[in-house]
Amino acid sequence: MPIYSSIKARVVADYGAEYLVDDGTSTWRARARQCDPAVGDWVVLDGVFVTEILPRRTVFVRRAAGSENVAQVLAANIDIVFVVVAATDVNTRRLERYLTIARQSGAAPVVVLTKTDLVDRLVEPVVSAPVITTSTVTREGIAAIERQLRPAKTAVMLGPSGVGKSTLINTLAGAEIMRTREIDARSGEGRHMTSHRQLVRLPCGGAIIDTPGIREAQLWQGEDALDEVFEDIVALALACRFADCGHETEPGCAVKAAIALGTLDTDRFLSYRKLERELRSVAVRSDARLRIEDRKKWKRLATAGRSRARP
C-alpha cells in the first residue's frame, strides 16, 4: 500500500464496510470517510481512507430494494451495459425492464444471450439494442464481446442469478476469477455466487464489473431511457391526433390502430405503460410539485365521478 496521501485510485471492489482500490501500481483495502463510493469510481484517498469521489462520467443506478425512494449506485464510469439473458429462458418483458435500467446509466446497452449450446432452436429477442449470442462451451460470441471492450472500455454485467454472468467473466479473463456452482442437471442452470460488486481487468484490455443477481430490478429516474427502449411506441404516439393522447379511448390514436392491425404487440405496449407508471411513481416521490399535481388530478377525477353518479 502506498504511504503517501492525497492520491487518486479506482475502486475495484465493494465489500460493504471496505473497498479495494487500485492506483495502477498497487492495490489495497480502504474505508470511506464522509462519502459513498461505488465500483468504477475514481477517488481521492488519504492513506487508507477514501475522502472524495471524482466526477462520474456515467453512473449505473437503480431504486434500492424495499419501499424507500432511495437511489442505489451499482457502478460508475462505465461505457457498456451487458444485459445478460440465458437462451433457455428469454423473457422479453423482463429484458425490457433491464434495458431501461441500462439506458438510464448513460452507457450503451448490449444484450448478451448465453447458453446457446443448451437450446435446439435459438430465438433472439427483438429489442432496440445489439444482441450477441454466446456459449462458454463452444466460445461462440466471446471474440465479439472482446471487440466491444477494446481498447480499454469498462462494462457492467446486469441480469438475474443463474444466467451465466460469472462463467462468462471467467471465460473472458481466461482464469477462474468468479466462483460458480455446478450446473443443475435438470434445469441446466447454475447458481450465482457473487456476493459483492467487483471490477475484473481482462486480457483484451477492457474491464467488466459483475453485480450480484438482482432480485428486484427497480427503475430509478430517467424517462428518456424508456423512450429509447420503446422507440417504436414513441414514434407511433407522435402520429396520434391529440398531442396528449392517453392511448385509451381517444379518437385518432395511432397506437390503438397499430395494436388493432397487429403491427404493435399488445404485451409490449402494456409493458411500456407499466414501466411508465413506475417511473412516474419514482418522480412523484422525489418531487413535491409532482405530488401536489397528482393529488389535484385524483381530486378532479373523484369529483367528476361523483357528478356522474348523481341522478
pLDDT per position as a tens digit, 261-296: 999 999 999 999 998 888 887 777 655 544 455 455
Residue type, 157: M
- Cα separation, 179 vs 181, in Å, equals 7
DSSP class of residue 309 equals H
Q: Where residue 146 falls among pLDDT bands split at 50, 70, 90?
A: very high
Confidence of residue 6 (pLDDT cuts 50, 70, 90): confident
* pLDDT tens, residue by residue, 158-169: 888 888 888 999
The span from the CA of 256 to the CA of 82, in Å, is 33
Please state, in angstroms and rounded to a whole number, the distance separating the CA atoms of residues 78 and 82: 11
Whether 311 is covered by a domain: the verdict is no
Phi first, then psi, for residue 30 (nearest 5°) are -145, 165
pLDDT digits (tens, 9 = 90+) for 131-140: 999 999 999 9
Domain boundary (169, 185, 210) is at: 210
Average pLDDT in the 237-248 region? 90
Give me 65's grid cell. Answer: 430494494
Same domain, 142 and 238: no
Please check whether residue 78 is in contact with residue 11, taking contact to mean a CB–CB distance below 8 angstroms: no
Q: CATH code at 268?
A: 1.10.40.50
- The total domain count for the chain is 3
CATH value at residue 28: 2.30.30.140
Domain presence at residue 271: yes
Per the domain annotation, does 310 fall within a domain?
no
181 and 107 part of one domain = yes
Query: Are 17 and 73 found together in one domain?
Result: no
- Please provide the average confidence, as pLDDT, over all residues in the chain: 82
Asked if 145 and 203 sit in the same domain, the reply is yes
pLDDT digits (tens, 9 = 90+) for 20-54: 999 988 999 999 998 999 999 999 999 889 999 99
Q: Which domain holds residue 151?
A: 59-210
Tell me the C-alpha to C-alpha distance, in Å, between residue 302 and each of 65, 285, 292, 295: 32, 21, 15, 11
pLDDT digits (tens, 9 = 90+) for 15-24: 988 999 999 8
